[in-house]
Amino acid sequence: MVDKKITTRIDSLREEINSHNYSYYVLDNPDVPDSEYDRLLNELSNIEQQYPELITPDSPTQRVGATPLDSFSEVQHEVLMLSLGNAFSEQDMSDFDRRVREAVEKENIEYAAEPKLDGLAISLLYEKGLLVRAATRGDGRTGEDVTLNIRTIDAIPLKLRGKDYPKLIEVRGEVVMPKSGFDKLNRQQLEKGEKPFVNPRNAAAGSLRQLDPGVTATRPLSFYSYGIGLIEGMTLPNKHSEMMEKLKSWGMRINPESQVVKGQKGCNAYYEKLAEKRNDLPDEIDGIVYKVDDIKFQNILGFVSRAPRWAIARKFPAQEEMTTLLDIDIQVGRTGALTPVARLEPVFVGGVTVSNATLHNQDEIDRLDVRAGDTVIVRRAGDVIPQIVSVVKSKRKGKPRRFYLPNTCPVCGSETARFEDEAVTFCTGGLYCEAQRKEAIKHFASRRAMNVDGLGDKLVEQLVDEGLIHTIADLYNLDLEQLIKLERSGEKSAKNLLASLEKSKKTTLSRFVFSLGIHSIGETTAQTLANHFLSLENIMNADEEKLLAVPDVGPIVAENLMTFFKQTHNIEVVEQLISVGIHWPKIVKKSQDELPLAGKIFVVTGTLESMGRNEAKAALQNLGAKVSGSVSKKTDYVVVGENPGSKATKAEGLGISILDEKEFIKMLSQ
Ligand code: I6G
């Protein structure tokens, strides 16, 4: 005989776990942290392992555990699982409402409205409150028995709550995969090198079709009930909405957006509200279902062919459509990134006509295996830019060639590059590439680069658009007459600009290297390079070995520098800049102790807004300082960024000078 204490503890654990599940799924109001829930489940599982004779099929530990099936058996639906009629417009809705009003001879009908989830219809049979069978809809008459898989879904109770449930009830509803779970599952699929799912509906369907419930258990599935089929041992309430409240009290999850609305006006307002919310909802929905709320009226209306006349699904405009991919073009962005763009046979999707969709990068093209001429599925959800979801391989004609981003930039012909572990392919043309020209010039003239006063972004755009400058070197060939002719440019400001261009010719080697806008060469790296190599020629001619010998220069910086200085047009621009008179003082290698911060010990703590920790470290080392990881009496300065740790407090206690970011930058520039 098992001790009474054990059975009491088992009962109380099961009740407590079920109650937490109810709060979490049905009330949408978790009442304990996950860790506490896991602890209770663990305790129950441990006791059940010691007393296997006390395990019952409705125990919360018994969701997974069945051995894989060979196939699914068939289930006959005693009450047919019907489909719904569709409405695609306000006119269709108005026709539906008129038919209802005429049939029941009443105005201002009350409708139970709820989102139409994009999932799989499921029937759940509860006998004496216990889940005994779960089946797919199938053709409405015959479905498949998916009980073992359905049992793994935490949102579906294995046992109904309370006492007033009928002796037999078939709950119907939709199994869905929430958008967040879908995204996570697809990331995992990609990490495992497996094919991602096309959409949450397919992922949910695929997960329920697993013969091994152990696999289904790993999938983030959820469930909402929307009605009933068979029922015995209870008189139905008068309203559909009251029945839904009953289901909720028995532990069935119902959609929190459900609402009773009045008349066609109420239906339209509900539709507009949900259409606006659609993209922010946790689950994919493809429309709204309206049901006449009064069961007496439902009985009057009855059925037509295989759909109830008392319900309708008002569909949102489709977010996915099929079309032909005519070609793949390449756009070069202002940062030099090459983006493949799908040119499409125009298609109406998500409420607009779409003729382009981004393909992001080479990885995405490889993942989709998309080729010119393919039939593709395009998705446009809300204001998000249209995406290609998948290729309909069965419709591919012949053997179109795979698409690869080119080795040279389609705009300027410079080499393109892509680094290991990075998705973006970019043009190395920088200053020379027309697509990047405006940005390159703005960067060149900026305060921390060549500091050309009076050359604002608008003026740069104007100069390029008017064809007055093609490269940064052309800036130094501008004359007064050209500038005055420009719209909104007075003589005084033109003169000022020419003077500031002249002034900018006197610079430093590090500013000059930074101003060239080479990928990944920030101010500090430019400074490090100048200090290390002492001359522009040395930097331009450095090979990989020499570059990698510089502190703070890694393989990416080295490759970017070499690629940049390998291109003839970049060398030409540099030569032109030197020939118009840009110059800098010769750098004389100073011994370590002649540097301005020689002998000083710094600690950097917290997050700096303008540079990373490594960059700050390199900048200090360039000036001869030592950078330490911990504060001691020997520390001279502590640089404090956002959210500093205990180091700042310790420094204060020791009376060490503290620099905020502004003071630190000032010190570096001095
Ligand atoms: O397929 C359906 C989805 C949602 C439904 C449904 C529903 O209610 C929210 N309701 C009924 C009555 C039927 N199909 C037949």
The minimum-distance atom of ligand 1 relative to the CA of 307 is 15
Task: Give the mutation target among 118, 120, 141, 172 for probing the ligand 1 site: most ligand atoms within 8 A of CB.
Answer: 172
Mean pLDDT to the nearest integer, 323-349: 93
State whether 532 and 617 are in the same domain: no
**Distance from the CA of 84 to the center of ligand 1, in angstroms?**
6
Nearest CA residue ID for atom 3, ligand 1:
116
604: left (phi over 0), alpha (psi -120 to 50) or beta: beta
Amino acid residing at 298:
Q
CA 33 to chain centre: 26
Helix (H) or strand (E) holding 216: helix 213-217
* Pair of tokens at residue 167: 């002796």
Residue 471: the pLDDT is: 86
Helix (H) or strand (E) holding 342, with range, is strand 337-349
Highest mean pLDDT: which of 309-313, 456-460, 561-565? 309-313
Cβ pair 349, 379 in contact under 8 A:
yes
Domain's final residue, options 587, 617, 643: 587
Sheet with 657-660, side-by-side order of all strands:
626-628, 601-605, 637-640, 657-660
Nearest CA to ligand 1 atom 4: 116
Q: Where are the alpha helices (DSSP H) in 236-292?
A: 240-249, 263-277
Q: Would you state the pLDDT for residue 122?
A: 98
CA distance 262 to 256: 18
Pairing of β 637-640 and β 601-605:
parallel
Predicted pLDDT at 509: 95
In a domain, 458, yes or no: yes
Question: C-alpha 162: how far from its chain's center?
Answer: 41
580, 596: one domain: no
Alpha helices in 302-412 (DSSP H): 362-368
Strand order through the sheet with 259-262: 85-87, 311-315, 285-292, 110-117, 259-262
Q: Which two tokens stand for residue 611?
A: 């540079």
Return the pLDDT at 554.
Answer: 87
CB burial string 645-661: b at 16+ within 10 A, e below: eebbebbeeeebebbeb
**What percentage of the chain reaches a pLDDT higher than 70?**
99
> Which protein residue has the closest C-alpha to ligand 1 atom 8?
226
Which of ligand 1's atoms lies nearest the C-alpha of 255? 9
- Please check whether residue 71 lies inside any domain of the structure: no
* Residue that the structure tokens 């002034």 belong to: 503
Asked whether 407 and 355 are in contact (CB, 8 A), the reply is: no
**Range name among 10-14, 462-466, 634-638 with the lowest pLDDT average:** 462-466
Whether residue 79 lies inside any domain: the answer is no
Residue 626 sits at φ, ψ, to 5 deg, of -105, 140
- Angle, CA 591 vertex, CA 589 and CA 594 arms, to 5°: 105
512 lies in the same domain as 471: yes
Is residue 557 in a domain?
yes
Based on the domain organization, do 560 and 638 belong to the same domain? no
The per-residue pLDDT for 487 is: 67
Task: Supply the CATH number for residue 377's domain.
Answer: 2.40.50.140
- Residue 180 alpha carbon to ligand 1 centre in Å: 24
Q: Could you tell me the maximum CA-CA distance found in the chain, to the nearest angstrom?
A: 106
Q: Give the nearest ligand 1 atom to 81 CA.
A: 15
Statement to judge: residues 612 and 654 lie in one domain: yes
Question: Of 564, 587, 610, which closes a domain?
Answer: 587
Give 223 Cα–ligand 1 centroid separation in angstroms.
Answer: 14
Half-sphere exposure in the Cβ direction for 550 (13 Å, CA): 28
Q: From the candidates 5, 116, 167, 485, which is the catalytic residue?
A: 116
Instruction: Please say whether the beta carbons of 597 and 624 come within 8 A.
Output: yes
**Ligand 1 test: best mutation among 136, 175, 289, 299, most atoms within 8 Å of CB?**
289
Q: From ligand 1's centre to the CA of 309, what distance in Å?
A: 12
* Residue that finishes a domain, picked among 354, 369, 395: 395
Neighbouring C-beta atoms of residue 286, cutoff 10 Å: 18
Residue 599 lies in a domain: yes
User: Pocket around ligand 1: residues whose beta carbon is below 6 Å from it?
Assistant: 82, 84, 114, 116, 121, 226-227, 289, 308, 311
Q: Are 518 and 614 in a shared domain?
A: no
Ligand 1 atom 7, closest CA: 226
Q: What single letter denotes the amino acid at residue 409?
A: C
Could you tell me what percentage of the chain is helix, strand and coil, using 3-state DSSP and rounding each to the nearest 5?
Answer: 40, 20, 35
Q: How far is 351 from 88, CA to CA, in rounded Å? A: 12
Report CA Rg, the chain. Answer: 35
Residues 577 and 622 in one domain: no
Looking at the fold, whether 285 and 139 belong to one and the same domain comes out as yes
Q: Which of 241-245, 261-265, 426-430, 513-517 bottoms out in mean pLDDT, i.e. has the lowest? A: 426-430
Active-site residue, 167 included? no
Q: Is residue 240 part of a domain?
A: yes
What CA–CA distance (Å, rounded) separates 232 from 248?
18
Reading the block at residue 420, the tokens are 């290991």
Q: Are residues 568 and 597 in the same domain?
A: no
Task: Please tell me the least confidently modeled range out of 106-115, 160-169, 360-369, 610-619.
Answer: 610-619
pLDDT over 70 (residue 66): no
- Structural domain range at position 505: 406-587
What is the pLDDT confidence band of residue 68, given thresholds at 50, 70 and 90?
A: confident
Atom 9 of ligand 1: nearest residue by CA position: 226
Which of 226, 243, 284 has the most ligand 1 atoms within 8 A of CB, as the residue to mutate?
226
Average pLDDT over residues 27-49: 91
Q: In the prediction, which pLDDT does 192 show? A: 86
Assign 398 to helix, strand or coil.
coil
- Range in 93-107, 343-357, 460-474, 615-629 with the lowest mean pLDDT: 615-629
Interval between CA 582 and ligand 1 midpoint (Å): 75
H or E stretch including 297?
helix 295-301
- Digit-coded pLDDT (tens) for 551-594: 778 888 999 899 999 988 889 999 999 999 999 998 887 777 88
Number of independent structural domains in the chain = 5
Are 517 and 504 spatial neighbours (Cβ–Cβ below 8 Å)? no
Domain CATH for 19:
1.10.287.610
Q: Cα(247) to centroid of ligand 1, in Å?
A: 15
> Which residues are CB-contacts of 526 (< 8 A; sequence separation ≥ 6)?
510, 511, 513, 514
User: Does the structure show a pLDDT above 80 at 383?
Assistant: no
Residues 241-255 have pLDDT tens digits of 999 999 999 999 999
Q: How many Å lie between the centroid of ligand 1 and the Cα of residue 310?
A: 11
Q: What is the CATH number of the domain that holds 625?
A: 3.40.50.10190
Q: Which of 214, 209, 215 is nearest to 188 (CA)?
A: 215
Separation of CA 258 and ligand 1 centre (Å):
13
Tell me, what's the pLDDT at 75?
96
Q: Is residue 38 within a helix (H) or strand (E), and if so which, with residue range? A: helix 34-50
